[in-house]
Amino acid sequence: MPGPLEGVVIVDLSRVVAGPQATMTLADLGARVIKVEQPDGDETRGWGPPFAGDDRISTYYLSINRNKESVTLDLKSDEGRDTLARLVRHADVLVENFRPGVLDRLGFPVERLHGLNPGLIVLSITGFGHDGPEGGRPGYDAIVQGEAGVMSVTGPPGTPSKVGLSIADLLAAGNGVAGVLAALYERARTGRGTVVRTSLLASVVGAHMFQGTRWTVAREVPESVGNDHPAIAPYGTFRCKDGQIQIGVANQNIWRRFAPVVGLDPDDPRYATIPDRSANRAALTAGIERVLGGDTRGTWLARLGEAGVPAGAIRSIDEVYEWEQTRSQGLVIEVDHPRLGPIELPGPPLRFDGAPPREHTAPPLLGEHTAAVLAWLDEMDLQDERERGE
C-alpha cells in the first residue's frame, strides 16, 4: 500500500548505519529509495558473523536496508558521475554521510546539486559536524558514544560502558528524518530545496536531557549509576527469588500504591518524598529486595500490575521477538528475500490509523536494480525532452 511519502524519490549515497537507517524509515513511509553503492557495496554487507545462507548475507545489512532498490555506480568514473547527475535531476532528496568535503571532491558540491535540481533537499549526516575545529573527524558510533558523554553515564559505577545498540547512529537517523520531513513541507510552500545537517555528536548531545542540565544548570557532573535512576527511587532493577525485574516508582501516587505491596509505610520519613527516597536509596533498595526475595518474578509482576505499579521483565532479544505484544504491534515483518527466501525482520515503529499494513520488500542484493533504474532514468529524460519540445 502507498504511504504518505508516495512519489518522493530519494537518492541514497549513505552507507553503514545512520544514513541507511534514515532512508529505511523514509522508505517505510512510502518514499522510493534508490541506494547508490560503489561496486564493492556498502561495507555492512561484509559485517558479521552472523551471516545467513550459502551466500553469507550479512544479517547486519539486512537490519537497515528494507524497501530499497540497489544500483552500483563507480563515482570516481565519468560514467558513474554522469548517472548520479541524472539521478539528482529527478530526485526529491539526496542523503549522504560522507566525511565533510568528500562529496565536493567527487564533483557534487551543494551549489552544483542545486544547479542540477533547485528543489533538491540534501540530508548530510556527519560524525562531529560539518564545521568547527574537529568537523572533519570520522565518527563511528562507539567513538561518539565516548566523546559525547554516553559512556560516562552508562554501566556500573566507575565502569564507562557503551549502549548495546548503535544509539548515536539511530538518534542521528531520527533527527535526519525529522529534518527531511520539515524540508519537504517547506519546499511545498517555497518550491526551493535546502540542506539539512545533523551529526552523531549533535544527536547525542541533543538527547542528554536531564543529564545535560545537571551540568549546565546545577553544575553537577553526572556519573554512571548502573540500572538505577540518578534522581528517582525506587526506579531500576531489583532481585526476586528467581531473577530480576524492573520497577519504576516515578511519582507520589505510584509510591503510595507501591509501598504497601512490599510492606513499607508510605509515610516513613526516610522515604516520604522523592528526594528522601533518593537520599536513602541504599537502605530502601535493600528493604525492597528482602521482600522480593521471598517470591518469584512472575508472582511479583502480577502483584505490582494489580496495584498499578509500572514493572516489567528483563527479556532477552529472542524473547522480545516471540512476545505476542511485539508481534501485535507489527514489529516483526516477513519479506521474501531473493536468496534466502521468506525471512523475518524487525518492523517499522510507526502505524497510521485506517491504513492497512504495507507489504515490505527485502533488502536488495548488490546492484539488483541497476538496469531497472537506468531504464527509468531514460524514460524520465525522454519525458523532460518532450516537455521542453525538443
Rounded CA gap, 238 and 316, in Å? 17
CA atoms within 13 A on the CB side of 263: 11
Smallest CA-to-CA distance from 52 within 338, 315, 330 is with 338
- Amino acid (one-letter) located at 306: E
**378 tagged catalytic:** no
Rounded CA gap, 186 and 169, in Å? 26
Q: Is the dihedral of CA 66, 71, 76, 81 positive or negative?
A: negative
CA atoms within 13 A on the CB side of 71: 22
Residue whose C-alpha cell is 552544483: 112
Phi, psi of 233 (to 5 degrees): -150, 145
Smallest CA-to-CA distance from 75 within 120, 127, 39 is with 39
Secondary structure of residue 368 in the 3-state scheme? coil
- Tell me the C-alpha to C-alpha distance, in Å, between residue 344 and each of 265, 273, 326, 327, 349: 49, 47, 13, 11, 15
Rounded CA gap, 166 and 273, in Å? 36
Instruction: Give the burial string for 365-376 (b: 16+ CB within 10 Å, else e).
Output: ebbbbbeebeeb
Long-range contacts of 215-223 (CB under 8 A, 24+ apart): 222/152, 222/153, 223/152, 223/153, 223/157
Pick the catalytic residue from 12, 92, 141, 169.
Answer: 169
Q: Among all residues, which ones are annotated catalytic?
A: 169
